[in-house]
Structure 1
Amino acid sequence: MESDPSPREPVDSDVDLRQSAAAAYGQGRGGEAAVLAAIAAGGAIGASARYLVGLAWPTTSGSLPWATLAINAVGCLLIGVLMVLVSEVWIQQRLLRPFVGTGILGGFTTFSTYSVDIQQLIADGHPGAALTYLAATVVGALAAVWAATRTTRALVNRSRR
């Protein structure tokens, strides 16, 4: 027996097996091309923003990579805001989530740099800093997305009254 998804949480069209990709993103190759173009354009913007933050806030040897930690926490916060807005407010904007969520915020946040930073801290003889960074990033990112989702949902519901 298949249960219905919670009415508070949206079904992701990327993983909902009851809906085809063509139906989720528009019929035919033109719809897929538009989604890919939106993701690529957004990704270029997000990755460029991450690069600029890294240049403006360099990490000294042996210290926590604060720029990457902040990038991932802020990115998760913005993903929390975005997901509430695209699932409850701007539900007809089919390219918004691929452009902003997958593209900009996916390009802005970085698991690969986070992993390399941890490896580098360990290799440089700073395992305590590596563990602190590992935990702080996970806790900060989860707290950011949770707080942003709850706050945005409360604001959306308040504005509807």
Structure 2
Amino acid sequence: MNWLLVLAGGAVGAPLRYLTDRAVQARHDSLFPWGTFLVNVVGSLVLGLLTGVTSARAQLLLGTGLCGALTTYSTFSYETLRLYESGARGFAVANVAGSAAAGLGAVWLGVGAATLL
């Protein structure tokens, strides 16, 4: 039965990632992958917030399902490689460093907020 919770969360997270990425990229005329950056940071924040949730069902639905489908390491890796190979090496480095820093900062903020709640 737990797999249904993961499936339900993923069914929301995957289209949310796609639609967010398309909407963000349509507003930015930049090589930098702002859509992927945004969904990964938001997913990190949500996972941090979930540390305060003791419900295993909520963690399966929101953590594994929603955040698992919303965030994307493979797309991050591919877009970074694409930037590097196209000569936009500064953007590639910024994507790696910025994603790591923003993701860690977001999960830290989420954990902090969860402890206050």
Q: TM-score, normalised by structure 1?
A: 0.67
Distance, in Å, in 1 between the alignment partners of 2:57 and 2:98 is 32
Equivalent pairs, count: 116
Equivalent residues in 2 for 1:1-150, closer than 5 Å: 34-58=1-25, 63-84=31-52, 86=53, 91=54, 93-150=55-112
Give the superposition deviation at 1:152: 2.2
Distance, in Å, in 1 between the alignment partners of 2:113 and 2:7 is 29
Judge conservation of contact 2:21–2:35 (CA < 8 Å) in 1: yes
Distance, in Å, in 1 between the alignment partners of 2:107 and 2:74 is 19
Give the superposition deviation at 1:41: 1.4
Give the superposition deviation at 1:142: 0.2
Q: Aligned partner of 1:137: which letter?
A: S
Structure with the bigger RCO (C-alpha within 8 Å, sep 6+) is 2
Runs of 4+ in structure 1 displaced over 3 angstroms? 59-62
Q: Aligned partner of 1:51: which letter?
A: Y
User: Identity across aligned pairs (percent)?
Assistant: 33
Bigger radius of gyration: 1
Give the superposition deviation at 1:151: 2.2
Deviation string 1:107-158 (CA, Å, 9 cap, x unpaired) is 001101100000110111111110011100000000000011112202x2xx
Q: Pick the structure with more helix per residue.
A: 2
* Unaligned ranges ≥5, structure 2: none
Q: TM-score, normalised by structure 2?
A: 0.91
Distance, in Å, in 2 between the alignment partners of 1:70 and 1:63 is 15
Q: Aligned partner of 1:127: which letter?
A: R
Q: Aligned partner of 1:74: which letter?
A: V
Give the superposition deviation at 1:80: 0.6
